[in-house]
Chains A and B, each alone.
Chain A
Amino acid sequence: MSEDILSRVRKVTVEELSVKEEEVLESSSFQDDLGADSLDVVELVMALEDEFGIEIPDDEVGEIKTVGAAVEYIEKKLPK
């Protein structure tokens, strides 16, 4: 797992969900652990799109339930 991507996902998460950085673990679920509701998740996904310059289609948002899952998804999406 890319440490660079992880740290950028954590930074975006801290900013969007107003949580403390130490709360944002690889295993953290955005909704169950970090207090996000469904609209927060939509906004978080939009912020990740901006951060990484990618498009995340609505039907793939379901894959991004945890910080770690977001990192894996983004790794897949980024040009090699």
Chain B
Amino acid sequence: MIRELARSGRVVITGLGAVTPLGIGVEKFWQNCLNGVSGVHRISLIDPEPFPTKIAAEVLDFQAEDWMERKDARRVDRAIAMAVAAARLALDDSTIVLTDELKDEFGVFIGSGIGGLNVMHENTRIMYERGPSKVSPFWVPYMIANMPGGIVSILNDLRGPNVAAVTACSTGANSIGDAYHVIKRGDAKMMLAGGVEAPINDIGVAAFCAARAMSTRNDEPQRASRPFDLDRDGFVMGEAAGVMVLEELEHAIARGAKIYAEIVGYGMTADAYHITGVHPEGRGARNAMLRALDRAGVSPHRVDYINAHGTSTPIGDPAETLAIKGAFGDHAHKVAISSTKSMTGHTLGAAGAIESMVCALAIRDQKVPPTINYETPDPACDLDYVPNVMRELPIEYALNNSFGFGGHNVSLLLKRV
């Protein structure tokens, strides 16, 4: 493969694919974000009655059959089907024409926090009820967390680098950041990058209930996810797939592609503190933000919008607030911050991907989506969280934060082109 000498190493976003509780397709998702619509309802995928938490953010109108051949659709894990759909939407949105030559230069980084939990759970039940000989031969391929990206590469014949990050709730952001690095260093011209999670089944709900991490505001589903509000009581589980097309700037310009935003900074750190708890001063989160800014050579005061991790947990939101103050100083009180998890719920491995999309769309439209359900200020969360109503705002730089169990912290900095 011959490489051009004049590569700038700049990477832009040229396609978005969203399969979310706020809609399938990026424009529907985005309009609902701006309108402050909640995607949280009583769980319909399973009977929620046995569980303390009976609400979640589901992609209600998603059918695998709409996106894959029937033979595959009827047996793949829901996570795989959602990733396939999001990848298809992103490719279509980018209007790329895939040539044989380009397919060698087109990679896929799609991760999942858990992987094919539905297939894993269902076959574990089958094994205990009917014996080991009844376990599906597809258990292994459909359970492993790298298979969404594997199948996306197979279905679209994309033959470049292919890796799946597994960093819990920062998976989607790591996938995009790592894909950005791949293009930046010249290992691919284009990448599909993002994350997927389909955790709403008996074991998934039971396990997150057992971790005491989820809201139990079952009688008011749409008010349950309330990041930074004083009365928050945990996150709301969501399912989603978010996949974006990343592209070398020169390649995008040469084909006249529509460009949403440029990725200019990627910061990663670890808390090195606790398996599920965040560092109380947000040390790792602060340093991830600072690194993303430093790599881009951008001063903190130039950031106009932060899409916060903001999961609506009692401990996480104040720690992120402290981390933002640590990274931004006085500017922390001026920058617009919102958590779209107030609407999408927490989509775990997909969160960083769909929230990076929010940043790209915020830059495109110069609009900040709100944090809904923000009613009672918490003294420990005293920044501008863009409460309840969308805001028009000049946005040059937008930052996305994603933090995961295990202490993974990721910040991505996007710039208007």
Interface residues of A (CB under 8 A from B): 17-18, 39-40, 42-43, 46, 55
Contacts and interface: CB of A to CB of B under 8 A. Distances in A.
B contacts with A: majority SS:
loop
Given A17-B71, A18-B74, A46 B134 contact: yes
B138 interface: yes
Given A43-B75, A46-B136, 11 more contacts: A18-B70, A18-B74, A39-B137, A39-B141, A40-B71, A42-B137, A43-B136, A43-B138, A46-B133, A46-B134, A46-B137
Contacts of B136: 43, 46
Contacts of B71: 17-18, 40
Contact of B137 (A17, A18, A43): A43
13 contacts: A18-B70, A18-B71, A18-B74, A39-B137, A39-B138, A40-B71, A43-B136, A43-B137, A43-B138, A46-B133, A46-B136, A46-B137, A55-B133
Contacts of A18: 69-71, 74
A41 to B, nearest CB: 9
A43 B138 CA distance: 8
Nearest to B134: A46
Interface string B213-240: 0000000000000000000000000000
Nearest to A18: B71
Nearest to A45: B137
Contacts of A55: 133
Interface string B126-144: 0000000110111001000
Nearest to A42: B137
Nearest to A19: B71
B134 to A, nearest CB: 7
Interface string B64-91: 0000011100110000000000000000
Contacts of B69: 18
A55 B134 CA distance: 11
Contacts of B141: 39
A43 B142 CA distance: 14
A35 to B, nearest CB: 8
B252 to A, nearest CB: 37
- Of A17, A18, A40, A55, chain B has the most CB atoms within 10 Å of the CB of A18
**The 4 nearest A-B residue pairs measured at CB:** A18-B71, A42-B137, A18-B70, A39-B137
A43 B133 CA distance: 11
Nearest to B69: A18
A40 B74 CA distance: 13
A39 B139 CA distance: 10
B153 to A, nearest CB: 17
B123 to A, nearest CB: 12
Nearest to B137: A42
A18 B134 CA distance: 20
A40 B75 CA distance: 11
A45 to B, nearest CB: 9
Contacts of B133: 46, 55
Interface string B97-137: 00000000000000000000000000000000000011011
A42 B141 CA distance: 14
Contacts of A17: 71
A46 B137 CA distance: 9
A80 to B, nearest CB: 25
A46 B136 CA distance: 8
A39 B133 CA distance: 14
Nearest to B72: A18
A17 B75 CA distance: 11
A42 B134 CA distance: 10
A33 to B, nearest CB: 15
Contacts of B138: 39, 43
A24 B46 CA distance: 36
Contacts of B134: 46
Contacts of B75: 43
A42 B69 CA distance: 19
Nearest to A46: B134
A43 B141 CA distance: 13
Contacts of A40: 71
